Amino acid sequence: MDIEKTMVDTKGGNWELEGKKFHSRLMIGSALYPSPEIMKKAIIASGSQIVTVALRRQSATSLQGGNQFWNIIKELDVTVLPNTAGCHTAKEAITTAMMAREIFETNWIKLEVIGNQYTLQPDPFALVEATKSLISEGFRVLPYMTDDLVLAQKLADLGCTTLMPWGSPIGSGRGLMNPYNLKVIRKQFPKLNLIVDAGIGKPSDAIEAMELGFDGILLNSAVALAQEPIKMAKAFKYATYAGRLGFEAGTMQKRDMATPSTPTVGTPFWHQFS
């Protein structure tokens, strides 16, 4: 069996996000890699069709800076998702988003407004303010948020069709700190695209998130900082697929008591007296 072809053909391979269709549910970042070449190979290995880029990475004009990076991204033929990483106020995030739309020629924006420098936790008030402004300007806003149900409702009410709650703080690799909150958000917003963004540290974290019914995973550090980024990227590719397939298949319910998988009724006569 050609597993690569099977991954594309599965019904999980017809994912619609903000008006576009994708077969991969893994989104990957473009920062922190040991070299541009490793970044390129890791993105290819991940199978991701959506790559996040920070506008501030594009400020350099030298061959070894922004131009080289941007040429690699264009060669990959992926959908670019600009983000407002590093912004700490709604005004700063809005300005960055406006610039990103001009540079990358897309109205998609991953909106980040950091409220705490230690945890890199998003500022919910500034996030709502910036989201409201950017949606009025025609942006498709994908907000990076905490796993807060009230915040999720406010962002959905503003018109967001995709929400990106964290699993745990950015770059922490701690996995899903509060699966209960994530399950509640999934249950409350069955029609929205929900993507776990930040904190994913290992492939099993991605599987867990996808088994909860989340639509996608966005990660960066877990691949870029791995001892072998290209191999880890491929691991996350399969983990995201496996988790989604498990969710679609319907996992068995946990039980308090053991239940034999092979019943004694109907067993061969010789087996009972052996």
Q: Which residues are catalytic?
A: 110
Q: What is the DSSP string of 33-65?
A: -SSHHHHHHHHHHHT-SEEEEEGGGG---STTT
C-alpha distances in angstroms, 127 versus 4, 33, 92, 233?
Answer: 38, 28, 11, 30
Q: Let me know if 178 is exposed, middle or buried by CB neighbors in 10 A (0-12, 13-18, 19+).
A: middle
DSSP, collapsed to helix, strand or coil, labels residue 81 as: strand
H-helix segments, the chain: 3-9, 36-46, 66-76, 90-104, 124-136, 149-158, 179-188, 203-211, 221-224, 229-249, 269-272
Quick one: CA dihedral 81, 110, 45, 63, positive or negative? positive
